[in-house]
Amino acid sequence: MDSIKKIRQELKKQKLGALMITDPVSRLFTAGFISSAGVVLITQQETWYFTDSRYIEAAKSTVKNARVQLVTSAENETYYDRVKAILGENSITSIGFEDEKMTFAEYQKWSEKLEVEPTPVKNLVSDLRIVKTAADLNKMKKAQRVAEKSFEETLPLINAGITEKQLAAELVYRFMKNGADDKAFDPIIVSGPRSSMPHGVPGDDKICDGFLTIDFGAKLDSWCSDTTRTVCIGKPDDEMIKVYGVVLEAQEAGIKAAHAGAKCSDVDSAARAVISDAGYGPYFGHGFGHGLGLEVHEAPTASKTSEDVLSEGSVISAEPGVYLPGRFGVRIEDVLYITGDGCENITNLTKKLIVL
């Protein structure tokens, strides 16, 4: 069943005549096209994709399941005008919007311009995005392969003279050279004591001895990959080897607990217990993982406070970590495709500690 048909069914349940979609990724999911400006309007009878002159030609050649219409500033047209006109022509008296994707200021503007008060519809489109089709999964695997190839090509470039920022640039360059459309997010590359920062920003610091965290992802055909590997520059000491082993064991425990129907909090707990039992509980501050797809962070969330349940066909990251402030950090991240009786790890890189 396609996404628009499912949306119509949900609109009927909620007694809404239409849904307007302003978020770029949600527009991509429903209509197959992304642009910085546009609105998708779905009613029970028709679907429209409104966009401006910058994207109209590409939209007309790409969008197959909606009527593409130009909104032209030359005639003082606005998206509000087009949506309002469709509602009036079809005697629609109720319209939903994605409350988690629209700012309060945007909501106020739509409410002012439409004669129909917009109704918040929570997670309608984002929930539909949780389950990936076989075709979706294949595209995600291709994005993973591009990212992994780029990572392996970047490792030989690591030397005492290269900075974190330069290494990040080399990695992103290889994404594009190997066929990616873009990076999925800005790489996290931090070395030595800075590796204790889970989301540290690459700086002008030269790569130094100790652990080096490389968190990276490529985007291909709009689908994201996400992987983290911690490598060691120089010989690791005993505690570094111990912590790396604890994190790897924790990740494997979480992977073992991941299957359709499992509570995300239970998956997190399985990994967290390993780290806590080893005495590093206070140094694992984030969740086990997050959903991945058209965005690098989406539903479901695998954390200790999550109320989500894993669905067959969902995709999550598996990324426990231990971060000792001012000393070092370790994170190992793979991507899991959830099946009925377990999961498929779609990441191919070794998890044996790489020592350079």
Q: pLDDT (tens digit, 9 = 90+) per residue, 294-306?
A: 999 999 999 999 9
Segment 46-62, tens digit of pLDDT:
999 999 999 999 999 99
Model pLDDT, residue 183: 98
**pLDDT over 80 (residue 67):** yes
Model pLDDT, residue 159: 87
Model pLDDT, residue 73: 75
Q: What is the mean pLDDT of the chain?
A: 95
CA dihedral 343, 346, 350, 356 (to 10 degrees): -130
Segment 226-274, tens digit of pLDDT:
999 999 999 999 999 999 999 999 999 999 999 999 999 999 999 999 9
- CATH topology for the 3-128 domain: Creatine Amidinohydrolase; Chain A, domain 1 (3.40.350)
Segment 156-202, tens digit of pLDDT:
999 878 999 999 999 999 999 999 999 999 999 999 999 999 999 99
Model pLDDT, residue 172: 98
Model pLDDT, residue 151: 98
Alpha-carbon distance of 157 to 167, in angstroms, equals: 8
For the residues 205-220, what does the mean pLDDT come to? 97
DSSP class of residue 338?
Answer: E
Model pLDDT, residue 76: 80
Model pLDDT, residue 265: 98
Model pLDDT, residue 247: 98
List Cα–Cα distances, 165 to 10, 26, 231, 249, 304, in angstroms.
46, 32, 17, 31, 33
| Residue of 54, 44, 37 lying closest to 16 (CA atoms) | 44
Q: Do domains 3-128 and 134-345 have the same CATH topology?
A: no
Reduced to 3 states, what is the DSSP secondary structure of residue 30? helix
Q: Read off the tokens for 210.
A: 């100790």
**Domain range summary for the chain, segments of one domain joined by +:** 3-128, 134-345
Q: Poorest-confidence range of 18-27, 67-76, 243-252?
A: 67-76
Segment 317-341, tens digit of pLDDT:
999 999 999 999 999 999 999 999 9
Does pTM surpass 0.85? yes
Model pLDDT, residue 75: 72
Q: Are strands 95-98 and 118-121 parallel, antiparallel or unpaired?
A: parallel
Model pLDDT, residue 115: 84
pLDDT bracket for residue 215 (50, 70, 90)? very high
**pLDDT over 70 (residue 99):** yes
For the residues 18-42, what does the mean pLDDT come to? 95
- CATH topology for the 134-345 domain: Creatine Amidinohydrolase (3.90.230)
